[in-house]
C-alpha cells in the first residue's frame, strides 16, 4: 500500500511539473516592439518586430548593416525560417532559408535538452542550458539556446539567451539595454501581465 501511494504521489508530481509552452520564452504580441541592443566592441543594434499571421519578422539595423530574421511562431515552436543581411559595400546580400526551420524554442524545452536538425548531409546541433546573465537591462535567468553547425547553411546569430518575459535578452554578442513598446518594459510587470492570460 505504501509503495502504491508513493507511485501515485510521484505521478502527480510529474504531471504538475508539465513542461512550459514554447511561447513562454518568446515575447507575447511582439508586433511593433523595438529592442535596443549594445555590444562593447560593435556599438548599438536596433531590432523591431513585425507580425503577419504566424510569421514574425525581426528587422535589425547596425551601423551600415541591416537585415531580417523571419520566425514561424506557433504555440508549439518558434523557429528561424529565413535570414537576410546586407552591409554597405556588399555586392550581394547574404540570405539563407531553413527547411525545416531552426527551432529556437520548442514546447517542453528544458535545461540540458538537445536535438539535431538535418539538411541532407548538413547538421545543426542545438543545445539549451539554463544560465544567469547580466545585460545592460538587468540580470536574468535565461535559457541559452546554442547552435553548433557542421556544414550547415550560414546562420547569422548562433546563440540566443531567452528570458520568459522578454524573449531574446542577448543575441550573439548583442545585449539588450532597452525595449520600446506598448507593454511595460519592467520584467516583473510584464511577467505579471502575461500571467493573467495563462
Q: Chunked in runs of 10, what are the mean pLDDT values of the chain (198 residues)? A: 40 39 82 94 95 94 94 90 93 88 86 84 87 95 90 77 92 94 46 40
Measured between alpha carbons, how far is 74 from 127 in angstroms, rounded to an integer?
Answer: 20
Residue 186 pLDDT: 46
Residues in the chain, overall count: 198
Residue 20 pLDDT: 58
Residue 192 pLDDT: 43
Residue 152 pLDDT: 66
Cα dist. 127→31, 104, 111, 118, 124 in Å? 28, 10, 9, 15, 10
Residue 14 pLDDT: 33
Residue 99 pLDDT: 84
Q: pTM of the entire structure?
A: 0.79
Beta bridge partners of 99: none
Amino acid at each position: 500500500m505504501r509503495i502504491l501511494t508513493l507511485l501515485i504521489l510521484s505521478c502527480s508530481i510529474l504531471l504538475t511539473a508539465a513542461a512550459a509552452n514554447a511561447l513562454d520564452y518568446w515575447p507575447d504580441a511582439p508586433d511593433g516592439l523595438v529592442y535596443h541592443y549594445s555590444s562593447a566592441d560593435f556599438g548599438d543594434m536596433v531590432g523591431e518586430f513585425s507580425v503577419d499571421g504566424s510569421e514574425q519578422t525581426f528587422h535589425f539595423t547596425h551601423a551600415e548593416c541591416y537585415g531580417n530574421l523571419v520566425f514561424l511562431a506557433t504555440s508549439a515552436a518558434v523557429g528561424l525560417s529565413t535570414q537576410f543581411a546586407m552591409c554597405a559595400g556588399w555586392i550581394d546580400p547574404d540570405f539563407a532559408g531553413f527547411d525545416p526551420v531552426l527551432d529556437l524554442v520548442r514546447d517542453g524545452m528544458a535545461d540540458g535538452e538537445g536535438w539535431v536538425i538535418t539538411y541532407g548531409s548538413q547538421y545543426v546541433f542545438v543545445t539549451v542550458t539554463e544560465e544567469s546573465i547580466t545585460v545592460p537591462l538587468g540580470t536574468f535567468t535565461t535559457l541559452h539556446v546554442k547552435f553548433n553547425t557542421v556544414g550547415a547553411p550560414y546562420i547569422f546569430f548562433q546563440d540566443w539567451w531567452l528570458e520568459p518575459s522578454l524573449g531574446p535578452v542577448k543575441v550573439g554578442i548583442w545585449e539588450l539595454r532597452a525595449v520600446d513598446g506598448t507593454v511595460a518594459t519592467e520584467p516583473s510587470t510584464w511577467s505579471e501581465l502575461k500571467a493573467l492570460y495563462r
